[in-house]
A and B are shown apart, each in its own frame.
Chain A
Amino acid sequence: NAGVTQTPKFQVLKTGQSMTLQCAQDMNHEYMSWYRQDPGMGLRLIHYSVGAGITDQGEVPNGYNVSRSTTEDFPLRLLSAAPSQTSVYFCASSRTGNTEAFFGQGTRLTVV
């Protein structure tokens, strides 16, 4: 079982560069979410989606874009990376809004 797969695992960007963090799940889950994890801040919700074509903002959406064209994929785009976006990013999915959430292994991003 692949579950939730995130790529890449590690990435170093220069300030101002753009990139896309990939997230894919093979469980036919409707809900998908992106979180960032920072020391002393815990996990904070960036964006989430309740189904293909539907997205909404979380606590810390600024500087990030998402779209959900298929059930399986939920990419996170950084349009112009900033050092404040240095973090570990996690993607999660759940079958519905009231069921168990499963997480990917994370992407460690450093912006210099």
Chain B
Amino acid sequence: KQEVTQIPAALSVPEGENLVLNCSFTDSAIYNLQWFRQDPGKGLTSLLLIQSSQREQTSGRLNASLDKSSGRSTLYIAASQPGDSATYLCAVRRLGTSGSRLTFGEGTQLTVNP
């Protein structure tokens, strides 16, 4: 059974700091890994998708890496801003009994202080 773990569960940083969020998964037989952002009371917003054959993806101040063999992904946020405050979730997609399915970590709650 695939398990996804995110560390730390919560993180508080001053504005402007560079930071790294971690995601680990137990089964390396994945199709892809996706990072999401969730604001309080809202839905999930997709940030980055990394296919299993890729090592990293970048979007603006965000960079996500994937090391499938070790079962790890990191989300790097450069020059953090108060608007980055949210919960960040990672999810891995793997084969199910019919088609593929996403398995989520519990998230890292990020607070960026002005």
- What residues of B have a CB within 8 angstroms of the CB of A58 in the complex? 96, 101
Task: Tell me the bound Cα distance from A32 to B108 in angstroms.
Answer: 25
Tell me if A100 and B44 are in contact (CB < 8 A): no
Q: Contacts A90-B43, A105-B43 known; A45 to B102 CB distance under 8 Å?
A: yes
A54 at interface by CB-CB < 8 Å: yes
A104 at the interface (CB under 8 A from B): yes
Q: DSSP class of A's interface residues: helix, strand, loop or mixed?
A: strand
Distance A58 CA – B107 CA, assembled complex (angstroms): 20
How many interface residues does chain A have, given as a range? 20 to 34
Is A25 in contact with chain B by the CB < 8 A criterion? no
**Which of B31, B34, B43 interacts with A97 by CB under 8 Å?**
B31
Given contacts A40-B106, A56-B98, 13 further A-B contacts (CB under 8 A): A31-B100, A35-B104, A42-B105, A43-B91, A48-B101, A56-B99, A58-B101, A90-B43, A92-B44, A99-B49, A101-B46, A101-B91, A101-B102
